[in-house]
Amino acid sequence: MPHGHHGAFELERIAAALEVEGQLTSGLTSEAIALCADRFATTGDTVRRVIDLGCGPGVGTALLAERFESATVVAVDGSAAMLARAEAIAARLGVADRVETRALDLDGDDLQALGTFDLAWAAMAIHHARDEVATLTNLRQLLLPHGLVCVLEREDATIVRLADDLGRPGIWDRLQAARRGRVSPSLPGASNAERYPAMLAAAGLEVVVSDTLSDTVTAPDDAPTHAFLRAQLRGSLRDLVGVADPADLDALRACVEATPVHPDGRWDGAAVTSSRKRFIARPARSRLPQACLGNGDASASLPTSLSSAGPSPSPSGTPQA
């Protein structure tokens, strides 16, 4: 992720928020990783090298290392602060010996020097690229013939519902109804997901899975999470002015601006709903070396779609980035 235009204090704040978000969405991340693992198991290919492009604070990096026990995970980010957090999380979870960090720009040509990979992972990262197709093309060029790219992007804005109704019974249902009734470009990532199939195809990748993952978890009761929840609700305030009931917005504003941060346990038991669009893609056959296109080509045996069954339930208590 490009973070260079932020000051050191602001970058730490962003890193802390992304780590909290990663923990809250770790169930979604684990579910996406599991499907990648299943597809490699189907073809009999061992995953030995994974690149996590735009790794941020590295919650996802550690989850990748935990799932692919024979793999080295190379975590790439342009921010030293993000990589430091990734290293700390990997150490805390006991996978530091299989996690390498590289301070590289996700748009740069330096990625090619990292070698080849079985899995290229990019969660909430590609939309930061100056040229998304070029970045996806770079990822495709890093893949071994049997390799896969997995892209996760925000399907919708994060939804926070406090257990407290703020003295306005039904407030959270009303705010959600108002939000659903408004299509807003200010919702982070809300309008990007539909562009990815065309971008992946332009990058020489064939989409084999395209689906949506959603999960609701109870947020932990700690200061970093409270700060994250407040930031999310401030975003809701900005977006719903002129759309939601003014009295509901006044109650929400009073809550967000209250001091102390969580009077009377107001933030306890908050429910956080997150959704991600998942794309898994492989190199298009026209992009594979001719030697790989014979009857023994493992990538040719990959199924082109998931079964009709929907996504399995996500664990709700697992920490992630």
- Residue 81 included in any domain: yes
Q: Determine the Cα–Cα distance for residues 92 and 110; give it in Å rounded to an integer.
A: 29
Average of per-residue pLDDT across 253-280 = 84
pLDDT for 47 equals 98
- Residue 71 included in any domain: yes
Total number of domains in the chain: 2
Q: Which residue has the tokens 């990292």?
A: 114
Q: Are residues 200 and 80 in the same domain?
A: yes
Q: Are residues 47 and 114 in the same domain?
A: yes
pLDDT beyond 90 at 8: no
Q: Are residues 105 and 232 in the same domain?
A: no
pTM of the predicted model, to two decimals? 0.83
Q: Are residues 263 and 284 in the same domain?
A: no
Contact 50, 98 (CB under 8 A): no
Q: Are residues 125 and 258 in the same domain?
A: no
Q: Determine the Cα–Cα distance for residues 240 and 221; give it in Å rounded to an integer.
A: 26
Burial class for 121, CB neighbours closer than 10 Å (0-12, 13-18, 19+): buried
Q: The domain that contains 101 carries what CATH number?
A: 3.40.50.150
- Residue 303 included in any domain: no
Residues 6+ apart with CB under 8 A from 77: 1, 3, 54, 55, 56, 83, 86, 101, 103, 104, 106
Mean pLDDT of the chain: 85
Q: Are residues 235 and 174 in the same domain?
A: yes
Q: Are residues 178 and 226 in the same domain?
A: yes
pLDDT beyond 70 at 257: yes
Range scoring the smallest mean pLDDT among 37-46, 100-109, 160-169, 252-261: 252-261
| pLDDT band (50, 70, 90) for residue 301 | very low
| Boundaries of domain holding 1 | 1-155+190-215+275-289
- Residue 297 included in any domain: no
pLDDT for 148 equals 99
What CA–CA distances, in Å, run from 65 to 29, 58, 62, 68, 89?
12, 11, 5, 5, 11
| pLDDT band (50, 70, 90) for residue 13 | confident
- Residue 76 included in any domain: yes
Tell me how many degrees the CA angle 94-218-253 measures, rounded to the nearest 5.
125
Q: What is the pLDDT of residues 125-183, one digit of tens each?
A: 999 999 999 999 999 999 999 999 999 999 888 999 999 999 999 999 999 999 887 65
| pLDDT band (50, 70, 90) for residue 236 | very high
pLDDT for 7 equals 65
